[in-house]
Structure 1
Amino acid sequence: MNVNQITKSFRYTFRTMLHAKLRNFIKRSIWKYFFASFLLAYALKDYVIDTDISLVNATFVIFICVILFGFFLIIISSYVLYRRKRKDNMDITFSENQIEIYWMVKDKKEIKAWNWIKSSEVSNNIYYLNLGGWPKNILMIIYPSPRHIPLPSASR
């Protein structure tokens, strides 16, 4: 094994799928839903909403209803995706030149270029890779191994 390679095993779990879907929802969609809630409250203010309720209150009520419904759909879709993908485990080897994916169930190896990763982000020692080229964009979450977590500095 080359020194400049990192191999990571991926197992589909309900927790990781839910984490990825919630992160995408909060990062990409929440402001759109808030703006749509405001527009809906403004449009309904004269026809349906009581005049004693302010536009801000109506916006927040509609927004909370939309968010709760969205979270419900995210939980259901994460469970359905987990039931469908739970056996599609893979080992991914990141090297300087390419990314190798070994699908364990299919016993198949794929080689991808680095442009397959559309964007990456590090937050709280967790790596988020936004991948393209699959039927839909997917968010891959790489949790650090317990032995590689940096320890807090003892110096003051």
Structure 2
Amino acid sequence: MLFWSMFLPLGCSYSIDSAFNSNPKPLPKKVMNVATLAFMIQLIFIYSWSAAYKTKSELWWTDGDAVYYSLHFDQYATEFGHLLLGFPIPILQILTFGALIFEWIGPFLIFIPVRTSFFRCLAIISFILLYIGFELCFAIGVLSYLSIVNWLALLPTEV
């Protein structure tokens, strides 16, 4: 993600330079180039390959027990995660299959050609909420924060 970010003009919107820009020539509001497309495809690859790997695993995903088993790893589960273990198994199975299905289809929301800003914001907000849920349940370090920053790079111009 950092590699493709090098070729994007993120400084036009996401920097102190843009806030203090005194140049009368306005900075571009929309950027669509090869790097933008590559950045978006890289996001899709991250989630699609993750979902494909999880789908291949017969142990956790076929029965919908992935969340249940994951929350039993005491070194990663937080107190909120342990609280979730008290929920009925069908709710944990819904969380398991919901996360898996969302990893398959969620990233493709950024490519919907109609109402692009709406669907892109929907994808960004949904993935941020997904990672907030991960952080509430698991102590996984900086993964959630880095992933959220990746999604923020795709905020539409209107936002």
Q: Which one has the largest radius of gyration?
A: 1
